[in-house]
Chain A
């Protein structure tokens, strides 16, 4: 081996030939893909490798973190002061609103208790940062910097200050991957805030648009309506804004109306998102069919409230 320069072919073949090795690798890869496609078989393998490649994600993200840090530390005092003032005013306004929120929440809980339906509880949230890495230009997936260690779980809802962003699809030890509501493979149960009309919102592959393909022409929906998550399906907590209806196209020749909505969350700009831990309450059943279950039967809150 060591006598031969690398350029020449070996005189005698050692080990299996190139073709055979290729075939073995191909068969093994295909087996791997089949196992991985059947959910969960290779979770531990992937988690181990994910920890190994996490530094690469961090290194790629580093210049962006550094740039924002530099921007903060080099901006002049006057700007920081004015920004601080604006933020303080914002906090004051929000605090004032929250004061009323507490009483409203209590009132809501009492009313819901009267109606025999499950109470909405305040959710625990944690701020996660979206890593500046590109996963696949044709899919709307992001990597976030919170993982198993921070109690993140699969299917967890992700929101920002203005609305629903997406949900967690895969959790590793230190990071997680999430799908945005604009991914063509994502569907989200929503309702019209004005009248409670329920439907499904599908992603389109365009971050500024989601579609509502399952509403009949006669549905009571208008441009400007706010869509909020309905909480059906159990993945998303109910009541978070999702999108605003932009365009309703009722074509009598078609069975369903064509409705486009614009997500309220800024899907491609925001770097920070909130992960929400729902208090796992049974899905709200329509009036009259409420399941009279044992209140202790619902799984416990993974973490408590914050």
Chain B
């Protein structure tokens, strides 16, 4: 069974998420960039925990570190924590109604944002401003959309 499941749509969704993480945003919205990669990690960890678990999250986190010019390991650590929480509470999050699921994913993204901020603070000076919470708020609106879109891809492309 495992052999029949396609992998490329998942890889593609990860690559698209990576690109969206560095795509220039419209003026005034740069602080509100949704945590695309974290949401993608959560989705695939919930969908197929055997394949797209900690290792996958860590690897794409490392790519994001290089892409964003961050310290190596920062996003890798934060994203593997995201995958860890998603896997840990997978059985519950999966059966939640969509609004409850959105709230829990937002909480996970909040933890992710906190780890990123924390490591930033340890390695350099950071300004702690209310705008830091905007990506988390953006997740609240985008998770239903993203989970619908990836869910469609998952069903129709027989991914997992």
Interface on A for B, CB 8 Å cutoff? 1-3, 5-6, 18, 21-22, 25-26, 28-33, 35-37, 42, 45-46, 49-50, 52-53, 56-57, 59-60, 64, 132-138, 141, 143, 169-170, 177, 184-185, 205
Contacts and interface: CB of A to CB of B under 8 A. Distances in A.
Contacts of A33: 71-74, 77, 119, 123
B128 to A, nearest CB: 10
A34 B63 CA distance: 18
A46 B18 contact: no
B127 A136 contact: no
A18 B81 CA distance: 11
Interface of B: 1-3, 15, 18-19, 22-25, 30-31, 33, 47-50, 54-55, 58, 62-63, 66-74, 76-77, 80-81, 84, 87-88, 119-120, 123-127, 160
A60 B69 contact: no
Contacts of A135: 22, 68-69
A57 B22 contact: yes
Nearest to A131: B22
Given A25-B58, A49-B63, A53-B67, 19 more contacts: A6-B47, A18-B88, A22-B54, A26-B81, A29-B76, A33-B72, A33-B77, A37-B71, A45-B72, A56-B67, A59-B19, A60-B24, A133-B22, A134-B23, A134-B25, A134-B30, A135-B68, A177-B69, A205-B127
Contacts of A25: 54-55, 58, 77, 80
A170 B126 CA distance: 20
Instruction: Tell me if A's interface is mostly helix, strand, loop or mixed.
Output: helix
Contacts of A35: 72
8 contacts: A1-B50, A18-B84, A25-B55, A30-B73, A36-B72, A50-B66, A137-B31, A143-B69
Contacts of B25: 134
Given A1-B2, A33-B119, A53-B63, A134 B72 contact: no
A120 B82 CA distance: 55
A60 B22 contact: yes
A29 B84 CA distance: 14
Contact of A2 (B1, B15, B19, B84): B1
Given A37-B71, A49-B63, A205-B127, A22 B76 contact: no
A184 B24 CA distance: 21
A53 B66 contact: yes
B117 to A, nearest CB: 10
A82 to B, nearest CB: 29
A203 to B, nearest CB: 11
B20 to A, nearest CB: 9
Interface centre among A5, A29, A59, A135 (most CB of B within 10 A): A29
Contacts of B67: 53, 56-57
A52 B70 CA distance: 16
A137 B119 CA distance: 16
A134 B73 contact: no
B18 A56 contact: yes
A37 B2 CA distance: 40
Contact of B68 (A42, A136, A169): A136
B72 A26 contact: no
A42 B73 CA distance: 11
A141 B68 CA distance: 9
